[in-house]
Amino acid sequence: MIEYKSLGRTGIKVSELCFGTMSFGGRADKSESEKMYKTCREAGINFFDCADVYQKGVAESYLGEFISQERDKVVITTKTYGAMGDDVNEKGLNAKHIRLGVEASLKRLNTDYVDVMFLHHFDPTVREEETLRAVDRLVSEGKVLSLGVSNFAAYQVERMLHVSAINQFAPISVIQPMFNIAKRMAEVELLPMAAYEGLGVITYSPLGGGLLTGRYKDGYSNASGRLVENQNYNKRYGGQFYEQVAREYSELCSKWGINEATLAVAWVMAHKQVTAPIIGAAHTEHLKQSLQAVSLTLEPELLKAIDAISPPPPPATDRSEEQ
């Protein structure tokens, strides 16, 4: 049975799995997208992650249509930052793009408000006050209920929190970093910071974009999927370490008789600081394997074996033995 958790200190209750809609209108056509939406709802998921750039607004339009009969029963996110057109100002965290971008997202989502609006990436060209004032206005107008940041370093989140506090702007309440068995960088600073600040944490790519599903266990050369077809993902998961993780992880799953995707999602869920992993799929059958994670309990021995394949990163500071 799926459980519900508080999203940081927002008080909003969200399912312990969030479904990510990045495949809507891309690797999943409309009917498959709708089928996945319904499968999630039947499983008890009330939390859906989206972004303006997912298929240039198509994912938002699909999601808007699917939620239309039950808008207030679901918690939805969207994001702003990425280029949505050719104009020089149609990107970034400047006040103009934030205002026009969020208004356009609301139209596509066919709703008056978005539950969480994420700044999709840090924008070093814009003063934090500019960005935060622009989003604070959207919060005051009721168009955005809570704010989040994605792909920010811990010091950038802390800086945003400081600027909001001294200006009495709405604070950042949620972070969205990448986090999976093969990519554990969030453990160093982001997750401890989230605990300290009481932030909600929804992490993306629990399967490493497919790396942790068995489809790359024999290497990349004869495989198909995002890691070989998409240049960014190819760079992100390219190299000997990731190929070795894919292979050894699959061997471990066979030994324990556990589905690769189910275990990878359960591993992220098991981190005490994670509110909900954002699961992704292009097919309902794949989605179902990730949904099984809610009923999997991880033995300490299994966690140790996973650490041996992909070790926890060293802490950000040394001399912890003296504390």
Ligand X SMILES: NC(=O)c1ccc[n+]([C@@H]2O[C@H](COP(=O)([O-])OP(=O)(O)OC[C@H]3O[C@@H](n4cnc5c(N)ncnc54)[C@H](OP(=O)(O)O)[C@@H]3O)[C@@H](O)[C@H]2O)c1
Binding range to ligand X, per CB under 6 A, among 80-88, 138-146, 160-168, 207-215? 207-215
Minimum CB distance to ligand X, residue 230 (Å) = 8
By CB under 6 A, tell whether 250 contacts ligand X: no
By CB under 6 A, tell whether 208 contacts ligand X: yes
- What is the x/- site pattern for ligand X, positions 117-156, by CB under 6 A? ---------------------------------xx-----
Q: Give CA 188 to chain center in angstroms.
A: 18
Assess whether 54 carries a catalytic annotation: yes
Minimum CB distance to ligand X, residue 100 (Å) = 21
Rg of the chain over CA atoms, in angstroms?
19
By CB under 6 A, tell whether 183 contacts ligand X: no
> Interface residues for ligand X in 23-42 (CB under 6 A)?
23, 27
Give dist(CA 260, CA 257) in Å, integer: 9
Minimum CB distance to ligand X, residue 47 (Å) = 11
CB-based contacts of 146, cutoff 8 Å, min separation 6:
7, 10, 12, 115, 116, 117, 139, 170, 173, 174
Minimum CB distance to ligand X, residue 280 (Å) = 3
Q: Give CA 247 to chain center in angstroms.
A: 25
HSE (side-chain half, CA atoms, 13 Å) at 135: 30
By CB under 6 A, tell whether 292 contacts ligand X: no
Question: In 3-state terms, what secondary structure has residue 188?
Answer: coil
How would you class 322 by CB atoms within 10 Å of its CB: exposed for 0-12, middle for 13-18, buried for 19 or more?
A: exposed
In the set 10, 122, 206, 275, which binds ligand X (CB under 6 A)?
Answer: 206
Binding range to ligand X, per CB under 6 A, among 5-13, 125-133, 154-162, 277-285? 277-285
**Nearest alpha carbon to residue 41 among 61, 81, 5, 70:** 70
In the set 46, 146, 164, 176, which binds ligand X (CB under 6 A)?
Answer: 176
In the set 40, 174, 207, 276, which binds ligand X (CB under 6 A)?
Answer: 207
Q: Which residue's C-beta sits nearest to ligand X?
A: 20
How would you class 223 by CB atoms within 10 Å of its CB: exposed for 0-12, middle for 13-18, buried for 19 or more?
A: middle
By CB under 6 A, tell whether 266 contacts ligand X: no
